[in-house]
Amino acid sequence: MENRDASHPVTDKTVPLMITGAAGFIGRNLAATLRAEGWQNLLLLDLDSPEGALEDYAGKAAFVFHLAGVNRPQNTEEFYTGNAGLTQRLLAALRAAGNKAPVLLSSSAHAGNGTDYAKSKEEAEAALFDHARLNGSPVYAYRLPGVFGKWSRPNYNTVVATFCHNVARGLPLEIRDPAYAFALCYIDDVVRSFMARLEGTAPAGEAPAASGTTCGIDPSYEVSLGWLAGTIRSFAATRQNLTVPDMGDDLTRKLWATYLSFIPENKLSYPLRSNVDDRGSFTEFLRSHESGQVSVNVAKPGIVKGNHWHNTKNEKFLVVSGRAVIRLRRIGTKDVVAYPVSGEKLEVIDIQPGSTHNIENVGEGDLVTLMWASEPFDPDSPDTYFEKV
């Protein structure tokens, strides 16, 4: 069967789209994104749907996302009824209705490993490719590795969900083999790829679907249990050390977003340690080895803070409330440069290396300044030398 992506796009956002397994992890994310992108007519099928809903929706759908399946049954037979059997019933309903809508099947990267779960997924794929030949419908069989992201279930969908849930609650992790390696993909990448198939644009980096073949998600990530556990544990420590994970690393950024989604809603706030005296306060907010440190500085009326310089460290000052004068003088010179600033006009002042500098509150209330430094403060190597402006 030829690649039908580009020739059979579904772009009318008023047509019905069918999603089986709509209340599950992938289905919930897909449905939320479709709605956010303006798709108005979603036919959502799940365990609590009324009898006959599958056949009804199969007669109406312009595109079918078949995401329902069984991966943790009470008995082995449920693999076959919940994966292969349900797929066969859905495809038969489409043919009975004369509906040639494209069908996207969520299968598993475990297909081919000889387990009953794998065999049931293989049977579902075979039924899908038979349907393409019998019905002339475009079909896409996705062999997904472990999918992680928001709204996944601990102790069910993925080890990432279990680790994030436990670490966010201070619970232990069970790791039998830290070196065990496996593949992961991120829910937003899965949804992006699924929607590209819907809209007729085969996702970049992914092979086109064709009869008798399967497709996957790009990117996917190979990780070990030990690395994954250590990374997620490091996320919990950020509330104490204020260090932001490396957002430049694609996988770390996605794992961090997933971890945040598992923090209990009544535990989203955490205190910061402030250095307070009669002049005001200084509170470190965030730090990053790659991007420096962000702090909040509060000064009382008439107070001057600073009067120091740095060799390499550089800073940015942003007054967000109150009025101030920021002064700078290059070391070894007498010329002082002054910048009047206020929270009424947000502007950033760059603090140069080699220039002693200070900030004076010239207003009647507290002065609040956001301060970024190119390096997190290190008491063993502060690069800070006191000298009055």
Residues with catalytic roles: 117
Q: Which residues are 277's β-sheet partners?
A: 280
DSSP state of 365: S
Q: Which residues are 305's β-sheet partners?
A: 359
- Dihedral of the CA atoms 92, 118, 212, 67 (nearest 10)? 50
CB atoms within 10 A of CB 174: 11
- Dihedral of the CA atoms 260, 229, 272, 367 (nearest 10)? -60
Cβ(387)–Cβ(334) under 8 Å? no
Residue holding tokens 């002054």? 338
Longest pairwise C-alpha distance within the chain: 89
* The two structure tokens encoding residue 22: 């709509």
* The two structure tokens encoding residue 274: 């402030």
| Residues 122-136 as b or e (16 or more Cβ within 10 Å = b) | bbbbebbbebbeebe
What is the rounded CA–CA span in Å between residue 238 and residue 228? 16
Instruction: Name the strands in the sheet holding 304-309, side by side, starting at the edge strand that comes first in the sequence.
Output: 336-342, 323-330, 355-361, 304-309, 385-386
- Dihedral of the CA atoms 124, 144, 212, 199 (nearest 10)? 100
* The two structure tokens encoding residue 215: 């497709």
Cβ(100)–Cβ(139) under 8 Å? no
Interior CA angle at 178 toward 177 and 181, to 5°?
90
Identity at 190, one-letter amino acid code: V
Cβ(264)–Cβ(170) under 8 Å? no
CA-nearest of 221, 108, 92, 229 to 171 is 229
Question: Three-class SS of residue 320?
Answer: strand
